[in-house]
Amino acid sequence: MTSNQMRVGDCMHAGIVSCAADAPLAEVARIMGDHRVHVVAVADLGHGRPYGVWRLVSHMDVVAAIATAQAVLAHEVAATEATKISAGDPLERAAELMSEHAVSHLLVVDPSGDYPVGIISTLDVIAAFGGSQHWGPAKNAF
């Protein structure tokens, strides 16, 4: 499959790691570390199910808060709505949105609605564009 035939759903990380909007930033950091991810989705919880506007907290948001010794909540750091893309969109559209919005992660929603089904990162786009079938940490990294 060439990169112009790939869809976002072919390259994304299925499922999302999320937290409640009122989660303390230390909890967000723990979630990132436990799941080894660079971004956590933030949503309000109603009856145990997320609803409303989805936002993303990145590892850089957490680092910035640590550097300034801010004790904040997830929704305070994730100030803007997540940039969304459909799982059925071409991979090139993900690259366009990332470039236009200067973001490294997009919230992937199902093609028939607005419910999140995954996350796609710049590394996912790069790996797919380069033809990598399996990527991970370098084996001989120091």
70 assigned to some structural domain: yes
Q: For residue 17, which of 114, 119, 131, 115 has the smallest C-alpha distance?
A: 119
What is the extent of the structural domain holding 119? Answer: 8-130
pLDDT digits (tens, 9 = 90+) for 6-41: 899 999 999 989 998 899 999 999 999 999 999 999
- For 88-97, the pLDDT digits (tens) are 999 999 999 9
Residue 87 lies in a domain: yes
138 in a structural domain: no
In a domain, 31, yes or no: yes
Return the pLDDT at 137: 39
Predicted TM-score (pTM) above 0.85 = no
128 token code pair: 């797919």
Is 135 a member of any domain?
no
Q: Say yes or no to pLDDT of 45 above 70.
A: no
pLDDT in tens, 63-116: 988 888 777 899 888 867 899 999 999 999 999 999 999 999 999 998 876 788
Domain count, the chain: 1
Collect all residues with Cβ–Cβ distance below 8 Å to 123 and sequence separation of at least 6.
135
Flag whether 1 is in a domain.
Answer: no
